[in-house]
Chains A and B, each alone.
Chain A
Amino acid sequence: MPKRKLDPLPSAAFHILLALAGEDLHGYAIMRQVEQQTSGRVRLGPGTLYGSLRTLLEASLIEELEDSSGPKDSAERRRYYHLTSAGLKVVRAEVESLAQTLRIARAKRILRGVDV
C-alpha cells in the first residue's frame, strides 16, 4: 500500500480536519474551533493554520468554497473550507488509531483516575 502524503498526519492538520468534520468553516472559525476542541491548548497561528490548509488542499483532503453570502469585494470575501470524503477517511483512520492507543493505555491503567 503506498505511503500517504500526510503520514503521519501532523497535529495541526489533524485538528483542522476534525474541526471541519462538523461543518464548513473559514480560517478564523477553524482556529476558534480547534481552540475549543482542545480546551484552549492549541491555538493555531496564521502561518501554521494557512500552511496546513494549503497542505490539506494539495492532498485533496479538504476543498475550498467561496463565500457567496459575503461581500462582493474579493478582498473582503472569506474562503470556507470543506472536508472531502478522502479527508473524512483520513481523520477517521487517525481517530481510530488514537482510540486503539487509548484502549491500550486504559488496559495498562496508564489513565488511572482520569475520566476519558
Chain B
Amino acid sequence: MSEKLYSLLLKLYPNHFRRAYGDEALRLVLDRIRDEKGFLCGLRLWFDLLVDLAISLPREYRKAPTARILVANPVNGDPSFQLLTERSPNPALLFVASLLTAALFWTCVTAVAHSRTFPTRFPADSYSLQAIVQTDVALARSASQGESGIDNRVGNADSGPVSAYSFCTTANGDIPPGAALIDGKIVRTFKNEHPTHGEGSIDPAGSCATIGVQSPRDKATRTP
C-alpha cells in the first residue's frame, strides 16, 4: 500500500529526477518501511516523506535541465553545433512550428513576388507613371491620326505602332521635369532641373509597357 502510494507521489517529480533516481528513491522508502515497523514509526515515515516532498519537489523543478547548445569543433572549416537535450521535441510543438514556418515562408515569397510589380513611392494618381504613359501613348496615336492639336512636335510621330517610350523624371512622385518621348518624338515637355532618365518599351498592340527609371538614388521598373 505504502509502496504504491509513494510510487504515485514519485510521479510528481520531474522526468529527469525519476529517470535518474526513481528506482533508488522507491527502494529507500521500501527499506524504511521494512525497518520501521509500528504505527508511530509508519506515521513518522509518512511525515518525513511528505515534508521531503514539499521541500524537494520545487527544487527539482527549478533544477530541471534545459536544452544546451554547444559549439562543436568546426568540421572541414564549417562551424557546427550540437543540441544536447534529454528528451525528444514534443510532436504537437513540432507541428505548430512547421505551420508557422510554412506561413512565414509563404509570406516572404508573396512579398518578394509582389515587390517587383511597382515601386510604392509612385502614387497611383494621375501623375503616376502608368497614367503618364497611357496619356502620352494616347496623344501620340491621336497625333499620328491627325485628330488633335497637341504639341506641334507630336504631330510628327510616325503613324505606325508605338514601340518605344522614354522620359525624364525626378522620380519623386511629383510631375517630373524633362521630356517624354515616343519613338523619339517629344509628346510632352517639362522643366527638367535634376534629370532622372527613364526608358520604356511598348509592345505593338499597345497593351503592355515596360518602363525603367534610373537615377543616382533611385531605380524602378514598371510593367502595367
Instruction: State the A residues within 8 Å of B (CB).
Output: 27-28, 31, 43-51, 53-54, 75, 78-79
Write the B9-36 contact mask toward A (1 if CB under 8 angstroms, else 0): 0000100010011011111110110000
Contacts of A54 in B (CB 8 A): 20-21
- A–B pairs, 14, beta carbons within 8 Å: A27-B24, A27-B25, A28-B27, A45-B53, A45-B55, A46-B21, A47-B17, A47-B25, A47-B55, A47-B56, A50-B20, A50-B25, A51-B63, A75-B23
Secondary structure call for the B interface: helix
Stretch at the interface among B44-52, B149-157, B169-177: B44-52
Contact in complex: A46, B55 (CB < 8 Å) = no
In the complex, A45 Cα to B55 Cα: how many Å? 10
Residues of A within 8 A of B24 (CB): 27, 46, 50, 78-79
Q: Using A46-B24, A48-B56, A79-B24 as known contacts, list a sample of 19 further A-B pairs with CB atoms less than 8 Å apart, ordered by residue number in A.
A: A27-B27, A27-B28, A28-B32, A45-B51, A46-B28, A46-B29, A47-B17, A47-B53, A47-B57, A48-B52, A48-B55, A49-B28, A50-B17, A50-B24, A51-B56, A51-B59, A53-B21, A75-B23, A78-B27
CA distance A50 to B17 in the complex (A): 9
How many interface residues does chain B have, given as a range?
20 to 34
Residues of A within 8 A of B49 (CB): 45-46
B60 close to chain A: CB less than 8 A: yes
Contacts A28-B28, A31-B28 given: A47-B13 contact, CB under 8 Å? yes
Instruction: Kindly provide the distance from the CB of A49 to the nearest chain B CB, expressed in whole angstroms.
Output: 7
Given contacts A48-B56, A50-B25, contact A43 B48 (CB under 8 A): yes
CA distance A44 to B56 in the complex (A): 11
Expressed in whole angstroms, the Cα–Cα distance for A48 and B52 within the complex equals: 6
Using Cβ atoms and an 8 Å threshold, which residues of chain A touch B31? Answer: 28
How far is B13's CA from A43's CA once the two chains are assembled, in angstroms? Answer: 20
Given A51-B63, A54-B21, verify A45-B27 contact (CB < 8 Å): no
A54 to B51, CA, bound (A): 20
Shortest Cβ distance from residue B49 to the other chain A in the assembled complex, whole angstroms: 6
Q: Which of B21, B26, B56 contacts A45 (CB 8 A)?
A: B56
Binary A-proximity of B165-204 (CB < 8 A = 1, otherwise 0): 0000000000000000000000000000000000000000
Q: Give the shortest distance, in Å, between B217 (CB) and chain A (any CB).
A: 57
| A44, A47, A51, A53: residue with the most chain B Cβ atoms closer than 10 Å | A47
The digit string for B133-154, where 1 denotes a CB below 8 A from any CB of A, is 0000000000000000000000
CA distance A90 to B195 in the complex (A): 81
Q: How far is the CB of A36 from chain B (nearest CB, A)?
A: 13
